[in-house]
Every structure is written in C-alpha cells, then in structure tokens.
Amino acid sequence: MVVSANGVSSYHGRTSTLFEEAIQERASGAELNHRMPDEWTEKGLVAEAAKQSQLEEFNYRAGTLDFDGVDPELGMHLLSLHWNRQHHSFCITYRPAFMRDMACAGPYFSKILLNAIYFGASKFSPRREVRRDHDDVRTAGWQFRERVRNLLGGALDRSEITTIQALLVMTNSLFALGDERSAAWLYAGLAFRMIIDLGMHVDAPDLGSPRKFSDEDVEIRRRVFWGAFVVDKIQSLYQGRPATLRESDTAVPIKFLDTYEELQNWQPFAYSMENKKYSGSPAYSVTTFTSLCHLSVVMSDILSCIYTERTFDQSAVELCATLENLNSKLVAWKKALPKHLDFDPIKSTQIPPPHVLSLHAMYHVLTILLHRPFVADGHLYNTSRSIPVNSFIICASAADSIAALLRAYDRAFSVRHAPYLISYATYVAATIHVRIAAKRSTDSEARENLETCLGVFRDNSKTNWAVRRANAIVESLIKRLGVNLTDPGGESSGVSRSQRRSSLAGPDGPRSQVAIGGSGSHSETVQHLRQHGHQGLTFSEDASPSTGWSDIDGIIQSFVRGQDSNVEDATTGRMGVVEDQQMQYRAPAAATTGGVIGFSGAEPSSSSADARHGMDGHPTTWVGLFPDGAVSGAATSFDDLLFGFNGSALDSSFV
C-alpha cells in the first residue's frame, strides 16, 4: 500500500515502480507480532455491535441521524427493510459502523450509500410516496436513484469503501428491473476497480500498509470484498459474461468474526405479512454468508471451466474429467454445510429465513448448470450413454428440489417479493420440468412442478420485471414441446390450482399460493436415483433409470434441438442462433466457432489429435454459443439458455 501526500492510500503490486518490498516486509512482520487471537477479536466486535444496536434508537430519538433530507420516519422505515432483507443476502453493508457514523459523519457512512439503500428497499415498501407512479412498483425509489446519480459524479475521483458498497447495492437492485442490465454491469465494474485500488483483494494484515487497520476495518474489508466476489459471479451468470474477480488473485480469508447477528431472532416483516404464524428463526447471517462465499468459489470454477469461449478446445475425456472434479466440489460443499443450515423442504418442520433458502436454491442451480450441457450432447449420448443419463438424473433431482424449495418459500413468506435469485432458480428448474412433462401424463409430478414455476413467474414479476423474460422463454418451450397444462399462465394454474389442493398443505402454516406437486413414480425414481447419482458421480455403462422414466431416451433427446418428435423444424426458430450452453452435435463440415462448450470441427494438430477425438476415436463437434456470439450457418435455435439468458443481444425478441 502506498499513501500519497494528501493521505490517499492505494494498492500496487510487485510489478509497479511504487512497490517497495522492504516496507512491505517490515509492516507485515509488525502486524504478525501484534495480531490478537480471533476469539478476542470476536468478543470485541460483538460487544461493539451490541452497543451500537442500543444506540440506534437513542440517536434516532435525539435527531442526530443524517437522513439526507428524507423524512426521518420514512428513512428509518427504508433502512429497516434493508436490514431485514438485502443486508442478510450478501452482507455488503456493515450495520454497526454505518449506523454509528450516520450520527457523527464518520467514514463508514456516506450519502451515496444511504440513497443506494433507500433505492434498493423502496420496491419492497408498501408506501406509495416512494413511487413516482403510485400504481407502478417499478418507479419505486426513483428520487433516490437520481440522488445516487448526482452524488456518483463526485465520488469517482477517489476510491472509498462506502462508494463500493453503494455501487454493489445498486447493481443488485438495477438488474432486477430488467431493462437496466448495462447500468448494473457498469456499476459493478466500477466497484471491482475500486476494490483493487484499495487493495481489498489482499487481507489487511498482509498488505504491509503503514496505516494501522482496526479489527473493525478488517471485518468490513473482508465482508465487502467477498460480497463483491459473490455479486461478480452472480452477475456473470445472469448476463453471460466473464467474471472479473478471480480467486487466484485474492488473499482474503473467508472468515468473519462479528457474529452478533448470527443468533438474532429474525422476523419476515420486510416480506409478506400474510402468514402471521411464522414463529421467527435465528438469522444465521454469518454462517449463511460464509457458506455462500464458499459456494461462489465453486461457481467461479464452473463458469471458468464450462462456460468460457475456449471450452470447446477440450476433448470429451477432458470435459468429463472436469465434470467429475467440479461435481465433487459441489458434493463436498453440501457435506460441509453447517447442520443448522441444512434444510429438507419435505421433512423439515421449521422453515429457515429466505436467505438460507436462497443459498440452497443456488446450490441446486449450480448442479443443473454443471450437468445440463452433458445431457444435451448427442455425441456423448451415442458413445457413452451413462454420462448424459447420469447428468440428466442429477438435473431432474435438482429441479425437483428447487420446486420443493419454492413451495416452502411461498408457504412461509410468499414469492411475490422474493429476490431475483429465486426466480432465476425457478427458470432453471422449469427448463428441466418442461421436458419431463412433455413425456409424462397430464397428472404427473413434472407438470405440477412446471405449474409451480409458472405460478412463481406470475407472482414475482411485479417485484422483479426481469422475470418476464424467463416466463416468455418457458412459455415458448411449453408450446414447442406440446405440453398441455390446465391454463398455462392463467388464473387456474399456479396460485388458484394449488389452493384447491388444500389437503396437501405443508406443516408450517397456510397453503402455498404456488401449485403443490403430487407424488408418484417420478418422485420414487428421483429418490432412488439420487442415492446413486450424486455420490461420487460414478459413470457405469449399464447405468439406467428405473421404470418410472420409461422414456428417458426421449427426454434426453429433447434437449438437442430437432431431436424431439414434437419439435417443429429447427430452422423456423425465431432467434436464429444456437441454443446457449447446450452442446449440439454436428458433422465436422457444419462446425462453427466461438462455443461455450464444444469442439471445433477443424483438424487438430498432430500433437493433440488424440485429445481432440471422442471416446470412440471419432471426431467430435460440440457447439454451444454465447448469446452475443456469431453463428456461421447455424441450423438450430435456442429455447432456454441458462448462462446469460438476460444478454442484451436478445432484447429485440422480448420487447
């Protein structure tokens, strides 16, 4: 770290002329000699957090809190919504320091961060004065967004932690609007640049800075960095773009010592208040965030290994080895999950807070993201059938788990105000359920699960406008595959249909407003195959599903455009580009370039010829493009891309 004459500190690594190794080593040694045990640090941080919690109400009544001109009662209302919702999702904001410095103009409070919090909380507020159009929730917080814009101009000349926090809060809020994806991406990019500028990607005790960081400083820097790391991966996933922050460039432990909020009683007052019977739960904020950070590292590996432009350079053998390695990381993460965060939506009698449910939803989403490309590859299906069969079984199991989570979420909190991550998980699950439903009877569990997903889309679309694109894609896929639902998208599906099934109500209160799935051979099959498909991901040539899925071949082939008997000629597809992240098999002459997953049909060099052939020795050609990628002579069209289905290249198709 270098401190300039005006007191501004900035990070410079070993290649910079500003880097002085001697200073770095002296400062690092001094830090090591004076570092206190974590137990002492934790006690100090928890004590300070408890003290500041008591002072919040005192400072509010004393009128010392700076609400930036907003009515104090409204300002406190919006802050309370934030602390109850977004704060627990990513832990980007640090409440003790923010509320303390809000009363004394300290360094961890700024008006740009305050207004970013106002903006993010406004769409969850029932108060119409925060809306420009009282009847349109999408206009909620407009005045706070304008205030952020005005303040941002003067905040770009110098990196500040509060500016980083504000940009990250704005990123999450803007993306959910649906038509602000570029703004969300740019705000996040600015935040990441500032993080590097401040050296937050290196743990404070290891920076060798002449400035002494307090325990609170270190805690905040760690939380903000890892919050940004998670946001980076989620934005990369949503938008189908490369991630910015790489784990290999970081030296920040996933260790948070302020545990004050961990066991605080959490009540869902910022969510729907329709269910008055929810008894509350410990917040589990710190352990949930810690687990999310570890999961985001696995997500980073999946995105960088499976969803990159050069993945198509790998052979089938290499990709299958990658699949097994990444799957083992997901399994290890699940096994290491703290016991109090483990949740079975079927068996559990107590539903945890929404951020815990979101954590599980992300795990199942990543499971599908990892395995679905291997289901859709025609060449693998012909040469090593067990791989796509096993991957499909795992995808179906994960999709069923997501549907069960959605029902539990809706039963306790209502999906109307659920975060966008829940809707994205709904979309990912729906792409699996619709294909199974196309091969099953009208009263199958897959159809019930699909109706659950459609009900979530409808209920959540007002809060998260971006959900409408997901709904449009799934509705189009339903039509293409010839799935007949009771009243898709209408009043008899999802909400009202589930209300008629009152006998299937869950143990935690009133009936879900989303369709409840039934039971039958599909559930039994998934339960049986989950025991054999998730542990170790063993691929045996004689692996086959039980009789519950007699048409598993047809289901798998429906992932490859043009292979399903219900599918119209692929050349009539309205998008005109290859289905993203699905591996399409073609003859070498029809090969394209720029794949997310696939192989070039070009002749490989002699040194890598063997690696460029499939398991049977024949040339392989797997093609799957980013939505922004160019396609040469494409003969297929995508229906339900997962990685980047919010890409700007598709905007004209969803106007």
Three-state SS sequence of 43-96: HHHHHHHHHHHHHHHHHHHHCCCCCCCCCHHHHHHHHHHHHHCHHHHHCCCCHH
Cα-flanking dihedrals φ and ψ of residue 131, to 5°? -105, 145
User: Is the distance from CB of 625 to CB of 596 less than 8 angstroms?
Assistant: yes
Q: For residues 469 and 428, what is the distance between their CA atoms, to the nearest angstrom? A: 13
Instruction: List, for the chain, all residue ranges whose pLDDT scores fall below the cut of 70.
Output: 1-34, 206-211, 272-276, 311-312, 377-383, 441-443, 486-550, 560-655
Residue identified by tokens 């602000």 is 180
Cα torsion for 247, 250, 251, 256, to the nearest 10°? -70
Q: Please report the pLDDT score of residue 209 as a whole number.
A: 59
Report residue 76 as tokens.
Answer: 């406190």
Rounded Cα gap, residues 340 and 379, in angstroms: 43
Cα gap 219→253, rounded to integer Å? 11
- Residue 614: what pLDDT? 40
CA dist., res. 484 & res. 506, Å (int) = 27
Per DSSP, what are the bridge partners of residue 131?
Answer: 140
pLDDT of residue 177: 83
Interatomic CA distance for residues 116 and 135, integer angstroms = 22
Residue 317 confidence (pLDDT): 83
Distance spanning both ends of the chain, measured CA to CA: 48
Query: Do residues 181 and 175 make contact, with C-beta atoms less than 8 angstroms apart?
Result: yes
Distance CA 550, CA 527 (A): 16
Give pTM, 2 decimals.
0.80
Model pLDDT, residue 625: 30
> Which residues are paired to 281 by β-bridges?
266
Q: In b/e form, how buried is each residue of 263-290, taking b as 16+ CB within 10 angstroms?
A: eeebebebbbeebeebeebbbbbbbbbb
Q: What is the dihedral of CA 81, 83, 87, 92, to 10 degrees?
A: 120
**Distant-in-sequence, close-in-space partners of 641: CB < 8 Å, separation ≥ 6:** 240, 579, 580, 581, 582, 627
The tokens for 629 are 């990628």
In whole angstroms, what is the distance from residue 303 CA to residue 323 CA?
12
Can you list the alpha helix ranges (DSSP code H) found in 135-268?
A: 142-155, 161-175, 181-197, 215-239
Q: Distance (Å, rounded) from C-alpha 181 to C-alpha 179?
A: 6
